[in-house]
Amino acid sequence: MTELFDKIKAVTELDGIAGHEHNVRNYMREHMTPLVDSVETDGLGGIFGIKKHADANAPRIMVAAHMDEVGFMVSSIQADGTFRVVGIGGWNPLVVSSQRFTLYTRTGQAIPVISGSVPPHFLRGKDGGASLPNVSDIIFDGGFRDKAEAEQFGIAPGDIIVPKSEAILTANQKNVISKAWDNRYGVLMVLELLEQLKDTPLDNTLIAGANVQEEVGLRGAHVSTTKFDPELFFAVDCSPAGDVYGDQGHIGDGTLIRFYDPGHILLKDMRDFLLTTAEEAGIKYQYYTGKGGTDAGAAHLQNSGVPSTTIGVCARYIHSHQTLYAMDDFLEAQAFLQALLKKLDRSTVDLLKAY
């Protein structure tokens, strides 16, 4: 598990929000290039390694993570040197206050900032006490004297702000606490998949990599699915665990069979294929109803329709500085994805697409 944790630490501590995924993309390019026949990018910056089958009629299978994490973007610099922001991806305002972040300027300089909060002293005597702020009203503070000093450090509207957090193991050594497991889980899944299959012949052409801008509307999946024209699409993404709230998604209970979310319904034949493969391979899995979407929701509507699914895990407290998740779930999901890909020959894919 030590080796796995080291890899998790490396990918989760990369910084990259939607439109600024370059750090993650460069990391993926470096690690996937020796493992595939070619590496290609799309027009928005998605990156994919291709293991090409010699038979031109072999099915084209796409496995896609997304590189971006949630963060913020500077919308204005105030006269007092503090910043106002827009959220990039979904944030619960309750988890934003009094946290450390890193602001990146146009030149790439990393500047420490914190999100503001209201001390209880300033709330005394106020009817109703504290209220839930809008993200656009939250103060971000780098300790600058005024707007002019902030600008002297190269800060400008459009600069990005990313959570500052270090990956650590829990006391039982089974779980990890970090930022960005949504969706550096998927990034690591793709890289581990390519590493494990580098010397394994497949009965398909594998297109494995990561999209951009998932957290702001599944944008990259529209582009990459159109470019690479797969016959099947597998998103690899992390979903919110509901175990501590009495809901679906329990960390440590295995990979997720995500049969429904607001943007995607799992097709019957794909559902049967997933369940049969999981049972044959001895994969630990759990059923999951999603309340948000993944790139499968965008991919399945492209071209003439692409049967899609999500190979996922769950994690507690996602879209925050401190997400908690089980390493064993990653291993189950990885074994599941490999088992699926090894079965996807022309006849199997044709059956999955026969209506």
CB crowding 316-347: b at 16 or more within 10 Å, else e:
bbbbbbebbbbbbbbbbbbbbbbebbbbbeee
Q: What is 74-136 written as a DSSP string?
A: EEEE-TTS-EEEEEES---GGGTTT-EEEEE-TT--EEEEEE----GGGGTT-TT---PPPGG
Residues present in the chain in total: 355
In the three-class reduction of DSSP (H, G, I as helix; E, B as strand; rest coil), residue 259 is classed as: strand
Give Rg (Cα) of the chain: 21
Residue the block writes with tokens 């991806």 = 89
Q: Running DSSP on this structure, what letter comes out for residue 69?
A: B
State how far the Cα of 346 lies from the Cα of 203, in Å rounded to an integer: 7
Q: Is 237 annotated as a binding residue?
A: yes
Number of neighbouring beta carbons within 10 Å of residue 89 = 18
Residue the block writes with tokens 């490999």 = 338
Q: Is 214 a catalytic residue?
A: yes
Number of neighbouring beta carbons within 10 Å of residue 291 = 14
Q: Is the dihedral of CA 141, 145, 151, 157 positive or negative?
A: positive
Residue the block writes with tokens 């026969």 = 354
- Per the CB < 8 A criterion, the answer to whether 70 and 214 are in contact is no
Q: What is 148-203 written as a DSSP string?
A: HHHHHTT--TT-EEEE----EE-TTSSEEEES-HHHHHHHHHHHHHHHHTTT---S
- In order of 53, 251, 307, 326, the CA distances from 241 in angstroms are 37, 7, 25, 11
Q: Is 42 annotated as a binding residue?
A: no
Omega prior to 183 cis, within 30 of 0: yes
Q: Is 250 annotated as a binding residue?
A: no
Q: Is 280 annotated as a binding residue?
A: no
* Per annotation, catalytic residue among 69, 214, 231, 332: 214
- Binding-site annotation, residues: 66, 182, 215, 237, 319
- Binding-site annotation, residues for Zn(2+): 66, 182, 215, 237, 319
Catalytic annotation, residues:
214
